C-alpha cells in the first residue's frame, strides 16, 4: 500500500514538471506571436519567462533524479557485474542526494533574500519571491525523490528495474 502512495507522489511530481514545460512553451509562443503579429508585448513576459524557466529546471531535476534519466557516463558501470553496478548506483545517488540537499539549502537563502529585498519584476512590479519559492519546492521534491530512490536502491532494488516494453508489431 505504501508503494502505491509513493508511486502516485512520484507521478504527481513528474506531472507538475511537465506542466511547467507547457507553461514555459505557452509563454514563449504567446510572446513571440503577439510581438510579431500584433506588435504587442506582454508586460513582464521576459521576466516571467526567465523565472518560469528557473522553476522548470528545479522541477525537472526532481522528475529526472528519481528515474535516473539524467545525463550519465556509464563507461565503468556498463563493464562490471550487476553487484558492482548496484554499488555504483547507490554511491552516485548518495552523492546526488548530498549535492541537491546543499543546493536546496542555498536556494532557500535566495528565496529569503528576494523576499526581504523586495525584488520586483520590471513592468508590473510584481514580487519575484513566489517564483523562487515554487522553484525551491521543486528542489525539495528532488531531495525527497532522491531519498526514495536511495532507499529503494538499497532495500528494494527490484522496484528500480524498468519494465521492458514489447515492441508494437
Q: Is residue 169 part of a domain?
A: no
Q: Is residue 24 part of a domain?
A: yes
Q: Is residue 150 part of a domain?
A: yes
- Interaxial angle between packed helices 45-67 and 2-38, expressed in degrees from 0 to 180 and rounded to the nearest 10: 150
Residue range of the domain that includes 10: 2-160
User: From the CB of residue 13, how many other CB atoms can be counted at a distance below 10 Å?
Assistant: 21
Alpha-carbon gap, residue 59 to 114, rounded angstroms: 20
144: helix, coil or strand? helix
Q: Is residue 102 part of a domain?
A: yes
Q: Is 119's pLDDT higher than 70?
A: yes
Q: What is the pTM of this model?
A: 0.83
| pLDDT tens profile 75-109 | 888 888 988 988 988 998 999 999 999 999 999 99
Cα 91 to chain centroid distance, Å, stands at: 21
Band of residue 162 on the pLDDT scale cut at 50, 70, 90: low
| pLDDT tens profile 41-62 | 999 999 999 999 999 999 988 8
Q: Is residue 165 part of a domain?
A: no
Q: Residue 90: CB partners within 8 Å, gap ≥ 6?
A: 150, 153, 154
Number of domains comprising the chain: 1
Q: Residue 20: CB partners within 8 Å, gap ≥ 6?
A: 52, 55, 56, 59, 60
Which contiguous run of DSSP H or E holds residue 159? none
pLDDT, residue 122, reads: 92
Amino acid at each position: 500500500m505504501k508503494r502505491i502512495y509513493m508511486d502516485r507522489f512520484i507521478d504527481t511530481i513528474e506531472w507538475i514538471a511537465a506542466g511547467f514545460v507547457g507553461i514555459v512553451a505557452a509563454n514563449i509562443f504567446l510572446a513571440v506571436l503577439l510581438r510579431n503579429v500584433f506588435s504587442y508585448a506582454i508586460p513582464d513576459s521576459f521576466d516571467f519567462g526567465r523565472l518560469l524557466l528557473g522553476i522548470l529546471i528545479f522541477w525537472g531535476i526532481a522528475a529526472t533524479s528519481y528515474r535516473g534519466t539524467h545525463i550519465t557516463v556509464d563507461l565503468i558501470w556498463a563493464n562490471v557485474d550487476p553487484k558492482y553496478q548496484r554499488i555504483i548506483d547507490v554511491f552516485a545517488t548518495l552523492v546526488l542526494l548530498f549535492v541537491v540537499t546543499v543546493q536546496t539549502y542555498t536556494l532557500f537563502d535566495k528565496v529569503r533574500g528576494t523576499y526581504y529585498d523586495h525584488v520586483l519584476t520590471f513592468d508590473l512590479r510584481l514580487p519575484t519571491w513566489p517564483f523562487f519559492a515554487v522553484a525551491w519546492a521543486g528542489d525539495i521534491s528532488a531531495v525527497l525523490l532522491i531519498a526514495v530512490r536511495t532507499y529503494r536502491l538499497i532495500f528494494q532494488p527490484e522496484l528500480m528495474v524498468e519494465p521492458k516494453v514489447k515492441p508494437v508489431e
